[in-house]
């Protein structure tokens, strides 16, 4: 058979080239189609973590506590310095309490004196005057009382003698009856005066006993309050922690009521505190896992810290005139570490970014969410 084209031309033609490579091209084409289909199907099964992010800071679980002066006084001694670790109950400041101690000593002496007065008054009321009186005051009162009583007794004796003499003369019909009645009245009056004098003094003594009893009770109550006030003149550490913002008072300085002396930063468990916007707060719940990027440590080298949500505030806080909810999270690690073993300690004041892991979603769901954002932009405003 006669050939139209020489073999050299036929081998170089498009038809010859297609014949040689068409089977391999079909394989590549089919593989590409299957790969695209496989990737499309895998989008429904490949899932990724969805998180809400919020900036925050590492702090103590407890709030810082102010150390304030409870009274106005002169500083006698201090045992306080910036950044010093103190234990709960440690004495930090001694204030001058001499005036209170002098007042307590004075009141105690008054109470002792009033007790002695009471004892003497009870002796006077007893009327036996034994044992002897303890105080000079009531020894003097007793002397005046006895002198007055002797005068009254003398007056009675004189009136009685005058009455008896008048009575004898009356019986002899020398004096009239009215003279007898007059002397009898004088005698009865002298007896009544003595009786009233004794009654009045006993009443006054009983009243004094009551007054001294009330004053003793009053002074004891005042002493009790003064002892309570004395506790304010020794300022103790309200909790364990580190001293910060010390105002530098020294011996000889004066402090006023409510004056802040320092702040104690608690030495307890560290947490990470974050302010989350209202748009994201609905996704969060207690015990939700959280990952923390510590800004002081490059997360590509140091990795992340981990924890969980401890508490979500019910109150709304304003930060730069924008509403936020306060979220406190626990920290499971006390430090981050490099591969070579170098540790980076977590401490108060380090800033963080919390990634709250709210759910897992497939790539397809994310694509549909993104498309919905494009198609319905007003729903997200």
What is the DSSP-derived secondary structure letter of residue 133?
P
**Calpha distance 11→7 (Å, rounded):** 6
Q: In CATH, what number does 48-61+269-375 get?
A: 2.40.30.170
C-alpha 381: how far from chain center? 43
Q: Which of 86, 40, 32, 96 is nearest to 234 (CA)?
A: 96
Q: Residue 4 has what pLDDT?
A: 56
Task: Show the tokens assigned to 98.
Answer: 């001499």
Q: Residue 360 has what pLDDT?
A: 62
Per-position pLDDT tens, the chain of length 381 = 445 545 555 455 555 555 555 555 666 767 777 777 766 665 555 566 667 889 999 998 888 899 999 999 999 999 999 999 999 999 999 999 999 999 999 999 999 999 999 999 998 888 776 668 888 898 888 889 989 999 999 999 998 898 888 888 877 777 788 888 888 898 889 999 999 999 999 999 999 999 999 999 999 999 999 999 999 999 999 999 999 999 989 999 999 999 999 999 888 889 999 999 998 888 888 998 999 999 999 989 999 999 999 999 998 998 888 999 999 999 999 999 998 889 999 998 899 999 988 766 555 555 555 444 434 444 444
**Structural class in CATH, domain 65-95+233-265:** mainly beta
What is the sign, positive or negative, of the torsion defined by CA atoms of 204, 206, 208, 211?
negative
**Calpha distance 91→101 (Å, rounded):** 19
Task: Show the tokens assigned to 120.
Answer: 């003497």
Q: Residue 372 has what pLDDT?
A: 44
**In this structure, how many other beta carbons lie within 10 angstroms of the beta carbon of residue 291?**
19
Please say whether the beta carbons of 340 and 361 come within 8 A: no
Domain ranges of the chain: 7-45, 48-61+269-375, 65-95+233-265, 99-232
The contacts of residue 84 (CB under 8 Å, 6+ apart) are 242, 243
Count each helix (H run) and each strand (E run) in the chain, helices first. 8, 16
Task: Show the tokens assigned to 129.
Answer: 């005057």
Question: Coil, strand, or helix at residue 275?
Answer: strand
DSSP track, 218-255:
HHHHHHHHHHHHHHTTEEE-SSSEEEES-----TT-EE
| Gap between the terminal Cα atoms of the chain | 81
Q: Residue 376 has what pLDDT?
A: 46
What is the DSSP-derived secondary structure letter of residue 285?
-
Beta strands in the chain (DSSP E): 47-60, 65-68, 73-78, 85-86, 91-95, 234-236, 241-244, 254-255, 260-266, 270-276, 289-294, 305-319, 322-330, 335-337, 343-345, 351-362
């Amino acid at each position: 058979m006669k050939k139209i084209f020489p073999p050299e031309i036929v081998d170089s033609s498009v038809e010859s080239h297609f014949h040689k490579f068409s089977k391999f091209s079909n394989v590549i084409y089919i593989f590409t189609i299957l790969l695209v289909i496989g990737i499309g199907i895998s989008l429904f099964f490949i899932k990724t973590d969805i998180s809400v992010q919020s900036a925050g800071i590492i702090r103590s679980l407890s709030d810082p506590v102010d150390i304030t002066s409870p009274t106005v006084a002169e500083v006698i001694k201090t045992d306080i310095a910036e950044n010093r670790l103190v234990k709960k109950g440690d004495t930090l400041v001694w204030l001058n309490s001499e005036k209170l101690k002098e007042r307590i000593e004075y009141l105690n002496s008054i109470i002792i004196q009033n007790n002695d007065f009471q004892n003497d008054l009870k002796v006077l009321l007893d009327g036996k005057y034994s044992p002897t009186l303890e105080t000079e005051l009531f020894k003097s009162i007793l002397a005046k009382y006895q002198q007055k009583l002797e005068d009254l007794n003398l007056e009675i004796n004189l009136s009685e003698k005058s009455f008896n003499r008048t009575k004898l003369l009356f019986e002899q019909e020398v004096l009239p009856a009215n003279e007898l009645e007059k002397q009898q009245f004088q005698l009865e009056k002298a007896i009544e005066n003595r009786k009233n004098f004794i009654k009045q003094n006993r009443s006054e003594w009983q009243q004094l006993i009551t007054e001294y009893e009330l004053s003793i009770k009053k002074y004891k109550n005042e002493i009790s309050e003064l002892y309570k006030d004395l506790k304010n003149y020794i300022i103790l550490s309200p909790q364990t922690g580190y001293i910060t913002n010390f105002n530098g008072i020294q011996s000889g300085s004066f402090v006023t009521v409510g004056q802040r002396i320092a702040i104690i930063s608690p030495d307890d468990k560290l947490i990470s505190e974050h302010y989350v916007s209202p748009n994201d707060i609905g996704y969060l719940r207690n015990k939700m896992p959280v990952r923390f990027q510590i800004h002081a440590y490059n997360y590509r080298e140091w990795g992340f810290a981990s924890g969980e949500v401890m508490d979500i505030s019910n109150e709304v806080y304003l930060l730069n005139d924008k509403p936020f909810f306060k979220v406190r999270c626990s920290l499971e690690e006390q430090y981050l570490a490099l591969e070579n073993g170098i540790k980076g300690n977590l401490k108060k004041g380090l800033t963080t970014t919390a990634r709250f892991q709210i759910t897992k979603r497939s790539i397809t769901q994310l694509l549909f969410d993104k498309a919905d954002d494009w198609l319905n932009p007003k729903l997200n405003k």
